[in-house]
A and B are shown apart, each in its own frame.
Chain A
Amino acid sequence: MNDSVPIPTLPSPFRLIATLGGIAMLSGLLVVMAYEVTAPHIARNRREALQAAVFEVLPGATVRSNFFIDASGMLPLPDEDLARANLFAGFDDDGRLIGYAIEGAARGYQDIVRVLFGYDPNREIVIGFTVLESTETPGLGDRIGVDPAFLANFTALDVSLTDDATALRNPVETVKQGEKTEPWQIDGISGATISSVAVGNGIRDSATRLLPLIRQHAGGSN
């Protein structure tokens, strides 16, 4: 608007700072307002998404509780502290423990694949599985989340612990399609080998790390 004026008079530095400060205040106010309004909805959405995933991998579960587990023990967490939880227990209507939902992550074809799987401590098997996050190739790698034959691997996948309960007796491994012979093997998807292997690795790593802790702190197997 002042293109024709060669040197515009410089407003006082005070005015510049006051303007920027005023705008920053206004913006802070708006953001805080938006945050306050949306925070409860966001928390509820996150809770519901997690709840749905946990109930999916623990068939029959209707009640969920959150835990943080490490070498020092198993700490129950309220829903407000969901971000810290690394273990979710699922119970049925009668309050019987169905199992634990555990997250796993491994490097897939395109990027990291994050999965959630259900663990039944009494039978020492994986009873359910779902993909939380993946950017695997559509039509090929992303079949790990939908392929019925592949999902059937996770109805009774053997993850039993050694007698001293420090490691898996037979580490989970992914084999080529149709070559599954042992209960701890995952029948891969042909055309999505790397993605299938990633799922197996994710489950194996988390199971190796967390199952001995669960046995130690929660009792579990009889």
Chain B
Amino acid sequence: MQPDSLSFIFLNAFLINNFVLSMFLGLCPFLGVSGKISTAWNMGLAVIFVMFVSSTCAYGINALLVRFNLEFLRLICYIAVIASAVQLVEMAIKKISPALFRTLGIFLPLITTNCAILGLALFQTFRDYSFVQCLAFSAGAGGGFTLALLLMAGLREKLDLADVPDVSMGAALSLMLAGLLSLAFMGFAGLGG
């Protein structure tokens, strides 16, 4: 597989270098919203949408900044645009599906300061992806995030019934689970090589 083929970019972000489990991007929502499968699914959808929007915006801004030799303003511009994109998705969801907004309401602001979203924009810039490659990258990253979130939520729903030592309840336990998932995902390395 060519290193810059679309399928490789997608697969790489989706499984091999999963944003959450191997790059540690977006851990806050990962630990916070993975309690129930239904919430996890909604959160995943919101992240995928915001990723598409911010990836597209970031591509446009970067082209503009490079054109005018203003690369040093990149970070500030990305942050501003991504924050606005999240505001947009928040308003859109509020309008379209008030029920979904009630479930996600408190988590949407979390996406704004989510490293997964900004990380996506930065990595696609560092790797000089073309526009179509950016789309494949964000689809893979968003899908991978949702996959990890769903797996984690499934595990945690089962875990409610388990008897674990008192001190390791909460975050520590979630992290250990994430570590095991991450170990499992390491098996995807070498895929398609």
How distant is B190 from chain A, measured CB to nearest CB, in Å? 5
**Interface assignment of B73: CB less than 8 Å from any CB of chain A:** yes
Which B residues are in CB contact (< 8 Å) with A197? 193
**Interface assignment of A112: CB less than 8 Å from any CB of chain B:** yes
Known: A107-B193, A137-B189, A197-B193. A28 touches B73 (CB 8 A): yes
A32–B193 contact, CB under 8 A? no
**Interface assignment of B3: CB less than 8 Å from any CB of chain A:** yes
Which residues of A in the span 49-106 have a Cβ within 8 Å of any Cβ on B? 105-106
Which B residues are in CB contact (< 8 Å) with A43? none
How distant is A207 from chain B, measured CB to nearest CB, in Å? 16
Which B residues are in CB contact (< 8 Å) with A35? 72
Residue ID in chain A nearest B22 by CB atoms: A110
Which A residues are in CB contact (< 8 Å) with B16? 110-111
The B interface is mostly helix, strand or loop, or mixed, namely loop
B192 touches which one: A106, A107, A111 (CB < 8 A)? A107
B17–A106 contact, CB under 8 A? no
Q: Mark B69-105, 1 if CB is under 8 A from A, else 0.
A: 0001100100000000000000000000000000000
A106–B189 contact, CB under 8 A? no
Which B residues are in CB contact (< 8 Å) with A198? 193
**Interface assignment of B59: CB less than 8 Å from any CB of chain A:** no
Per the bound structure, the CA–CA distance linking A35 and B1 in Å amounts to 39
Residue ID in chain A nearest B75 by CB atoms: A31
Known: A107-B1, A110-B17, A112-B3. A32 touches B72 (CB 8 A): yes
Q: Mark B168-193, 1 if CB is under 8 A from A, else 0.
A: 00000000000000000000011011
How distant is B120 from chain A, measured CB to nearest CB, in Å? 16
Which A residues are in CB contact (< 8 Å) with B17? 110-111
B8–A107 contact, CB under 8 A? yes
A31–B189 contact, CB under 8 A? no
Which A residues are in CB contact (< 8 Å) with B190? 109, 194
B193 touches which one: A27, A105, A137, A194 (CB < 8 A)? A194
B72–A31 contact, CB under 8 A? yes
**Interface assignment of A128: CB less than 8 Å from any CB of chain B:** no
Per the bound structure, the CA–CA distance linking A186 and B17 in Å amounts to 28
Which residues of B in the span 10-61 have a Cβ within 8 Å of any Cβ on A? 12, 16-17
**Interface assignment of A108: CB less than 8 Å from any CB of chain B:** yes
Per the bound structure, the CA–CA distance linking A109 and B190 in Å amounts to 4
Which A residues are in CB contact (< 8 Å) with B192? 107
Per the bound structure, the CA–CA distance linking A106 and B12 in Å amounts to 13
Which residues of A in the span 6-51 have a Cβ within 8 Å of any Cβ on B? 27-28, 31-32, 35
How distant is A174 from chain B, measured CB to nearest CB, in Å? 12
Which A residues are in CB contact (< 8 Å) with B72? 31-32, 35
Which B residues are in CB contact (< 8 Å) with A194? 190, 193
B73–A107 contact, CB under 8 A? no
Output the residue of B2, B16, B76, B189 with the most chain A CB within 10 A: B189
